Homo-oligomer: A and B are copies of this chain.
Amino acid sequence: MNVTIFGTGNMGSAIARVITAGGNTVQSINSGDDTAVTGDIVVLAVPFGALDQIVATRADELAGKTVVDISNPLDFETFDSLVVPPDSSAAAQLAEKLPASSVLKAFNTTFAATLTSGKVGDNPTTVLIAGDDADAKEQLAQVVTAGGLKAIDAGSLRRARELEAFGFLQLTLASAEKISWTGGFAVIP
Contacts and interface: CB of A to CB of B under 8 A. Distances in A.
A77 interface: no
B185 A186 contact: yes
A19 interface: no
A125 to B, nearest CB: 11
A155 B168 CA distance: 12
A36 interface: no
B155 A172 contact: yes
A123 B128 CA distance: 20
A50 interface: no
Question: How many copies of this chain does the complex contain?
Answer: 2
Interface in A134-171: 152-156, 158-159, 161-163, 165-166, 168-169
A83 to B, nearest CB: 13
Contacts of A169: 128, 154, 159, 162-163, 165-166
Interface residues of A, number: 37
A66 to B, nearest CB: 21
A26 to B, nearest CB: 28
B80 A121 contact: no
A118 interface: no
A33 interface: no
A189 B179 contact: yes
18 contacts: A80-B156, A86-B87, A86-B161, A121-B188, A122-B122, A123-B123, A154-B173, A162-B168, A165-B166, A166-B185, A173-B187, A178-B189, A179-B187, A179-B188, A183-B188, A183-B189, A184-B187, A185-B187
Interface of A: 80-81, 85-87, 120-123, 128, 152-156, 158-159, 161-163, 165-166, 168-169, 172-173, 176, 178-180, 183-189
